[in-house]
Amino acid sequence: MHSAVLLIEFGSIILGLGLLGRFAARFRLSPIPLYLLAGLAFGEGGLLPLGASEEFVATGAEIGVILLLLMLGLEYTASDLVSNLKTHYPSGLVDCALNALPGAAVALLLGWGPVAAVVLAGVTWISSSGVIAKVLGDLGRVGNRETPVILSVLVLEDLAMAVYLPIVTALVAGAGLMAGSVTLAIALGAAGLVLFLALRYGRLISRFVSSDDPEKLLLVVLGLTILVAGVAQQLQVSAAVGAFLVGIALSGEVAEGAHTLLSPLRDLFAAVFFVFFGLHTDPSSIPPVLLPALGLAVVTALTKIATGYWAARRAGISVKGRWRAGGALVARGEFSIVIAGLAVAAGVEPSLGPLATAYVLILVVLGPLTARYTEPVATWWARRREPSRPEPAPAPRAAEAEAPVGD
Amino acid sequence: MSAPRLRATPLPGIGVQYDLETREHRHLSVVAHRDGTRTVNVYRSDDPDSCAQSLKLTSSEAGSLIDALKPSHHSPSLLYTTDLGLVAERIEVAATSRWNGRVLGEMRMRTETGASVVAVLRRAEAIPSPTPDFRLAGGDTLIVVGTREGVDAAAAILGRE
């Protein structure tokens, strides 16, 4: 009767997620926080411990991470990544410095050690491209001039993940400096090779995978991705990075076909992944880390706004657009959870999971609000200060006016 | 006057944005999403970086809008292939038309205009490739294919009393 119990449990989870998703859509919220909360409600210390489907959900969660990263890779072509890297790398560096450091600092202050610091740095660094793209669409800002700037920051973060994830994987596995360096070298080599191949022979790769029949395309792409992810995991590189690189290598029609076919699968398994993450977090462990999470959320919201402001200024966008770019970048989401998930699975620091959960819950809700209100608030603030300042604009403003306009 | 240039900006993960600066220095842009939908954006005059209006169109809505924007637009066009310069139109045979009850061959449409009648729609059925001895009736709708000028001339012939 084991299978009956499994079906009943898994079916209830999926159905529950579907209903939660509808509830979220009514309030125009991202469903991610609700999935996390659903996971918290069940599982350890929750209302209803799951038994039979535990293992199945764990596998589903792994596939969820793989699909999330594959779809991310499919969004971009290799030339997108390379051209973005060439023109916007300073913004990427500023983004990393401003947003990764607070995370690392908090982990060190809490005395969690260097490995947890690297993990938490990633959690606070990477914005959620999914949430942000949706918010831009909802606010009717897809055509705004600052949008390419926002997207380029996101692209760079995603590219950075290809380097960052193998490092984290090696660190949480407790690999030494030597083994870690080898892993990183493999990861960087693989990423470089895939980018090179995709730029050079992208059409050939896509032709190999291409199929007019959706069924076969689905099987080939999914099979190839999971296989590569498995090999990457075996090499200690990180399954997620393998999947991401497969996504980069596929381009053109194949990528679009695969995108359409895999979207529903991604939605299903990603939802399972968020639930799984919540399942492994004990709700009673959240209140003690709530304060650091809140502080970290406020600080990294401000640093993201500064990042967006700086990147947009570099691209020669007017002050209002800079604030809008900053506000839009605040949301963190799926990738922060993916990064935290790596550490939780390896049992790095028991409080890391709850902190990451609380942090993402706060920012995934706050992000759309900052996207909407940062610019009006900043404009209102500037206006309020102006009458009290009859003398010419303060020094930084003057410097801005003379700053050479970017590309 | 040369054709205005559309600037294309890739939006990674979303699609491509095409910007157009009109003669009156208004800025207009279309975002082509990868799923075939389009967003048409008009910009604010006080903040040229941000959209005052952002209209989301499905691919079929975008198609109808394109038709309406075409300078040579004629409403019930069924097929429009710019690269071939062919149009297809439905033209109705009025009950008062001189062709009511005459055969198709008498009209000498192809000889006169270069346009062909590819089908006739009568009540609920369609008669494909009608022969020259096909007898027309008032209320028939002819599907005529030809160049823009040819189809216009064909419509003029059909309209004769």
A240 within a domain of the structure (yes/no)? yes
Which of B9, B13, B50 is facing A141, going by the closest CB pair?
B50
A312 to chain B: closest CA residue: B49
- Work out the pLDDT band at B146, boundaries 50, 70, 90: confident
Check CB contact under 8 Å for A320 and B49: yes
Q: Identify residue A271 by its one-letter amino acid code.
A: A
Residues 81-100 of A with CB under 8 A from B: 84
Structure tokens at B72: 């040579």
CATH number assigned to the domain comprising residue B110: 3.30.70.1450
B77 within a domain of the structure (yes/no)? no
- Helices marked H in A237-351: 239-249, 252-279, 286-314, 319-328, 334-346
Check CB contact under 8 Å for A76 and B13: yes
pTM of the predicted structure, to 2 decimals? 0.75
Check CB contact under 8 Å for B54 and A146: no
The sheet with strand B86-92 has its strands ordered as B77-81, B86-92, B141-147, B116-122, B125-128
A388 within a domain of the structure (yes/no)? no
CA dihedral A339, A340, A341, A342 (to 10 degrees): 60
Same domain, B65 and B87: no
Question: Which of B69, B90, B106 is the last residue before a domain boundary?
Answer: B69
A405 within a domain of the structure (yes/no)? no
Best residue in B31, B41, B47 for a mutation probing chain A (most A CBs within 10 Å): B47
Whether A151 and chain B come into contact, CB under 8 Å, resolves to: yes
* Predicted pLDDT at A52: 63
pLDDT of residue B161 exceeding 80? no
Q: Which domain holds residue A99?
A: 1-382
Question: Which of B43, B69, B95 is the last residue before a domain boundary?
Answer: B69
Check CB contact under 8 Å for B12 and A143: no
A117 within a domain of the structure (yes/no)? yes
| Distance to chain B for A148, nearest Cα, Å | 6
Pick from A196, A215, A391, A359: which is nearest to A277 by CA? A359
Structure tokens at A165: 């994830």
Cβ-Cβ contacts under 8 Å for A14 (sequence gap 6 or more): A268, A271, A272
| Distance to chain A for B35, nearest Cα, Å | 8
B74 within a domain of the structure (yes/no)? no
Whether A266 and chain B come into contact, CB under 8 Å, resolves to: no
pLDDT: which is higher, A262 or B47:
A262
A260 to chain B: closest CA residue: B35
| Distance to chain A for B49, nearest Cα, Å | 5
Q: Which domain holds residue B123?
A: 82-159
Point out the residues of chain A with pLDDT beneath 70.
Answer: 1-2, 43-52, 175-177, 387-407
Please write the tens of the pLDDT for every residue from A309-339: 999 999 999 999 999 999 999 999 889 999 9
Whether A320 and chain B come into contact, CB under 8 Å, resolves to: yes
Check CB contact under 8 Å for B50 and A142: no
| Distance to chain A for B1, nearest Cα, Å | 27
B24 by Cβ neighbours in 10 Å (0-12 / 13-18 / 19+) ranks as exposed
Best residue in A81, A136, A145, A146 for a mutation probing chain B (most B CBs within 10 Å): A145
Best residue in B20, B46, B49 for a mutation probing chain A (most A CBs within 10 Å): B49
Same domain, B125 and B57: no
Whether A372 and chain B come into contact, CB under 8 Å, resolves to: no
Same domain, B61 and B87: no
H helix and E strand count, chain B: 4, 10
A36 within a domain of the structure (yes/no)? yes
Same domain, B29 and B89: no
| Distance to chain B for A190, nearest Cα, Å | 22
User: Is A172 in contact with A346 (CB distance < 8 Å)?
Assistant: yes
B148 within a domain of the structure (yes/no)? yes
| Distance to chain A for B65, nearest Cα, Å | 19
Check CB contact under 8 Å for B50 and A151: no
Whether A334 and chain B come into contact, CB under 8 Å, resolves to: no
Which of B12, B35, B49 is facing A144, going by the closest CB pair?
B49
CA atoms of A376 and A358, how far apart (whole Å): 28
- Overall number of domains in chain A: 1
The sheet with strand B38-43 has its strands ordered as B7-11, B15-21, B27-33, B38-43, B51-57
Chain B neighbors of A323, CB-CB under 8 A: none
Residue A150 neighbours by CB distance under 10 Å: 27
Whether A143 and chain B come into contact, CB under 8 Å, resolves to: yes
- Overall number of domains in chain B: 2
Residues of B with CB under 8 A from a CB of A: 9-14, 17, 29, 31, 34-35, 39, 41, 43, 47-51, 53-54, 56
| Distance to chain B for A68, nearest Cα, Å | 13
B20 to chain A: closest CA residue: A143
Same domain, B65 and B92: no
Percent pLDDT > 90 in chain A is 30
A404 within a domain of the structure (yes/no)? no
A234 within a domain of the structure (yes/no)? yes
Question: Which of B69, B101, B124 is the last residue before a domain boundary?
Answer: B69
Which DSSP category does A405 fall into? P
Write down the residue that tokens 């607070």 correspond to.
A102
CA dihedral A268, A270, A273, A279 (to 10 degrees): -70
pLDDT of residue B66 exceeding 80? yes
